[in-house]
Amino acid sequence: MVEEKMKVPFDVEQIRKQFPTLSQQVYGKNLVYLDNGATSQKPQVVIDAIAKYYSEDNSNIHRGVHHLSQVATEQYENARATIQRYINAPLLEEVLFTAGTTAGINMIAFSFGETLKEGDEIIISAMEHHSNIVPWQMLCERKKCVLKVIPINQKGELKMDVFESFLSEKTKLVSVTHISNTLGTINPIKEIIDQSHQAGAKVIVDGAQSIQHMKIDVQELDCDFFIFSGHKVFGPTGVGVVYGKKEMLDILPPYQGGGDMIAKVTFEKTTYNVLPHKFEAGTPNISGGICLGTAFEFLAEQDLDAIAKHEHHLAKFAEEEIVKIEGARIIGTAQNKTSVVSFVIDGLHPFDIGTLLDKQGVAVRTGHHCTQPLMDFFEIPGTIRASFAFYNTMEEVEIFIKALKRSVEMLR
Cβ neighbourhood burial of 235 (10 Å; 0-12, 13-18, 19+): buried
Q: Check residue 186 and report its DSSP letter.
A: B
Is the pLDDT score of 2 beyond 60?
Answer: no
Q: What is the pLDDT of residues 164-213, one digit of tens each?
A: 999 999 999 999 999 999 999 999 999 999 999 999 999 999 999 999 99
Q: What is the pLDDT of residues 64-101, one digit of tens each?
A: 889 999 999 999 999 999 999 999 999 999 999 999 99
What was the pLDDT predicted at 109? 98
Give per-residue burial for 97-128: e unless 16+ CB within 10 Å, then b: bbbbbbbbbbbbbbbbbeebeeebbbbbbbbb
Give the separation between CA 48 and CA 354, rounded to whole angstroms: 32
Is the pLDDT score of 363 beyond 50?
Answer: yes
Is the pLDDT score of 125 beyond 90?
Answer: yes
The CATH code that applies to domain 47-300 is 3.40.640.10
Q: Is 223 a catalytic residue?
A: no
| Three-state SS letters, 339-350 | CEEEEEECCCCH
Q: What is the pLDDT of residues 305-332, one digit of tens each?
A: 999 999 999 999 999 999 999 999 999 9
Under the banding of pLDDT at 50, 70 and 90, the label for residue 5 is low
According to CATH, the superfamily of the domain at 12-30+303-411 is Aspartate Aminotransferase, domain 1 (3.90.1150.10)
Under the banding of pLDDT at 50, 70 and 90, the label for residue 8 is confident
Please check whether the two domains, 12-30+303-411 and 47-300, share a CATH topology.
no
> Is residue 173 a contact partner of residue 223, using CB atoms and an 8 Å limit?
no
Domain boundaries, the chain: 12-30+303-411, 47-300
- For residue 219, give the H/E element and its range: helix 218-221
Give the separation between CA 329 and CA 61, rounded to whole angstroms: 51
Give the separation between CA 257 and CA 82, rounded to whole angstroms: 27
Indicate which residue of 140, 223, 291, 370 is catalytic.
Answer: 370
pTM: 0.96
Is the pLDDT score of 10 beyond 60?
Answer: yes
Q: Which are the contacts of 370, defined by CB distance < 8 A and separation ≥ 6?
A: 129, 130, 131, 181
Is the pLDDT score of 51 beyond 90?
Answer: yes
In angstroms, how far is CA 42 from the centroid of its own chain? 15
Is the pLDDT score of 7 beyond 60?
Answer: yes
Percent of the chain with pLDDT over 90: 92
CB atoms within 10 A of CB 409: 10
What was the pLDDT predicted at 313? 97
What was the pLDDT predicted at 264? 87
Give the separation between CA 36 and CA 42, rounded to whole angstroms: 11
Longest dimension (CA), the chain: 71
Is the pLDDT score of 115 beyond 90?
Answer: yes
- To the nearest 10°, report the CA torsion of 378, 384, 389, 395: -130
Give the pLDDT mean for 349-353: 97
> Is residue 123 a contact partner of residue 187, using CB atoms and an 8 Å limit?
no
